[in-house]
Amino acid sequence: MLSFLQKPSNSTDKSYVRVAYRQRLQEIADSTSYSSTASDGLPGAEAGQPDLQFFSRDSKAKVEETRSEPAVAAAGEVPKDGLSSGGAVTAAPVRPADGIDEFSTKLAQSLTECWSVVLKGLKCQFSLDRDRLQTALTNLDSLSGSVQGVAGALAPLSERADLLDRNYHELGPRLFDAEQRVATSQRGIERLDVELNEVSGICREMQERVRTQGEAIAALEGTLRNQAERIGTQVK
């Protein structure tokens, strides 16, 4: 029903709505069997011209605008008056107000159908969004339950961590004392090592002296043995 609003390929954005409106008005006028001319015997009607007293004020203004507007049409373009006149200035034929009412009724029906389709689309979109929101809420509830389960599983670990922290604070001073004792023992061991080195030096000196004394004693024994042999020889 809105096919007359489809934009032709050779139309311009500036005059599209006006041209489409006049084309539709021309189609409705052509489909109306009533013709108001001088041949109808109507009072005040000139030959070949419509009698405007049967039209509404808006229709008269539209006809006057159509008459006063030049139809300048380039090659392949639709004239502004909606008629393919080939460059000639023509006036759109006018019909009684019944044609306007029929056009308005059809336009209202078309708009009603369009709004109905739009509302149905919005309703479907709202239903989809509502379903997605419900699914998201369900997933959120499941996630909340999972988080609560994880929190329950972490509670014993938190208690153990607190216990370890208390034990660390209690064992801290003891560990410090043990470290101090180890350091003191290390210093004592170092002193003992120095003393042992000194004792080793003394022992080496004593060994050297013993060796020297042993050699002296051996020499003295040899001397005494020689003297004893001499004395024995003299006695004989």
Output the average pLDDT for the chain.
Answer: 71
Does the pLDDT at position 174 exceed 80?
A: yes
Mean pLDDT is highest, among 22-26, 51-55, 89-93, for: 22-26
Please tell me the least confidently modeled range out of 32-41, 122-131, 138-147. 32-41
pLDDT: which is higher, 29 or 99 = 29
Q: pLDDT at residue 212 above 60?
A: yes
Give the start-to-end residue ranges of the domains of the chain. 3-95
Give the pLDDT confidence of 62-96 residue by residue, as tens digits: 445 544 444 444 444 444 444 444 444 444 454 44
pLDDT > 50? residue 14: no
What's this model's pTM, rounded to 2 decimal places? 0.27
| More confident position, 68 or 132 | 132
What pLDDT is stored for residue 203 in this prediction? 92
Q: Which amino acid is at 24?
A: R
Distances (CA, A) of 14 to 19, 70, 71, 230: 10, 16, 15, 161
Most confident among 84-88, 94-98, 145-149, 207-211 (mean pLDDT) = 207-211
DSSP codes, the chain: --GGGSPPTT--TTTHHHHHHHHHHHHHHHH-----SGGGT-TTPPTTS--GGGS-HHHHHHHHHHHHS-----TT---TTSS--TT---------HHHHHHHHHHHHHHHHHHHHHHHHHHHHHHHHHHHHHHHHHHHHHHHHHHHHHHHHHHHHHHHHHHHHHHHHHHHHHHHHHHHHHHHHHHHHHHHHHHHHHHHHHHHHHHHHHHHHHHHHHHHHHHHHHHHHHHHHHHH-
Give percent of the chain above pLDDT 90: 13
Q: Which residue has the higher pLDDT, 1 or 18?
A: 18
